[in-house]
Chain A
Amino acid sequence: GESVGLHLPTLSVQEGDNSIINCAYSNSASDYFIWYKQESGKGPQFIIDIRSNMDKRQGQRVTVLLNKTVKHLSLQIAATQPGDSAVYFCAETPGNTPLVFGKGTRLSVIA
């Protein structure tokens, strides 16, 4: 179920280290997953997506891993930079229904 009013989990990493942000999704019928980055006061920004027929997809400095067996999604950010500080959300959908967003993780980069 969903929790209301809890503080976001926070991940603190040193600048230059790799970051791994995890997400557990709930709908086994979901076949499309997206990671969004949301900076303070702004709308979500698309980072990377993956379909259920893949288990890994790479972008520029980011990699998304999908484990359908345990319904787990992760976002890896290589060489984390101060500009990566934001809240990261995963979202899922079976494709013909609205996106369902996870609760989010706050990434804090320590210079």
Chain B
Amino acid sequence: NAGVMQNPRHLVRRRGQEARLRCSPMKGHSHVYWYRQLPEEGLKFMVYLQKENIIDESGMPKERFSAEFPKEGPSILRIQQVVRGDSAAYFCASSPNFGAYEQYFGPGTRLTVT
């Protein structure tokens, strides 16, 4: 049973470009969470999605950031017009049930904005 998969593992973007990060949850999991981690810091919650629904986006910046989890395919975290401050590791976690329990993390995408 494959774990949570994220791609790309590393992404380099110039300021002003768009970044698209993908997350495929574990088989049988329909709940996805996105977190951001700056160097030497803990993970900060961004958004919680269920298939075709955003459940909680309280941690996501109001501008330039969006997330989706379509009926088919991976969850996508999209960052428009990236700035240097967006450089971070972005982690996706999935769970089989509603709520924060039993979250399994992917390997992350390291975004570097030059």
Tell me if B40 and A5 are in contact (CB < 8 A): yes
B-to-A contact residues, CB < 8 Å: 4, 33, 35, 38, 40-45, 48, 56, 58-59, 91, 99-101, 103-108
A44 with B100, Cβ < 8 A, contacts A98-B33, A98-B48, A98-B56 known:
no
A-B contact pairs, 13 of them (CB 8 A): A5-B40, A6-B40, A93-B100, A95-B100, A96-B100, A98-B33, A98-B56, A98-B58, A99-B43, A101-B42, A101-B43, A102-B42, A103-B42
The answer to whether B41 touches A98, judged by C-beta atoms less than 8 angstroms apart, is no
Could you say which of B4, B41, B45 contacts A99, with CB atoms under 8 Å apart?
A: B45
Contact A46 B104 (CB under 8 A): yes
Interface of B is mostly: loop
Q: Which of A7, A8, A46, A98 contacts B100 (CB 8 A)?
A: A98
- Cβ–Cβ contact B40 & A43, under 8 A: no
Pick from A97, A99, A102: contact of B103, CB under 8 Å = A99
- A45–B43 Cα distance when bound, in Å, is 13
Interface residues on A, range: 20 to 34
DSSP majority for the A interface?
loop
Closest to A95 in B: B99
In the complex, what's the smallest C-beta–C-beta distance from A79 to chain B, in angstroms? 26
Give the residues from 9 to 41 in chain A that come closer than 8 angstroms, CB to CB, to chain B.
Answer: 32, 34, 36, 41
Bound state CA distance, A104 and B56, in angstroms?
24
Closest CB pairs A-B (n = 10): A101-B42, A43-B105, A98-B45, A93-B100, A101-B43, A44-B105, A43-B107, A99-B100, A43-B108, A103-B42
Q: For B108, give its contact among A6, A42, A100 (CB under 8 Å).
A: A42
Give the distance in Å from the alpha carbon of A77 to the alpha carbon of B41 in the complex: 22
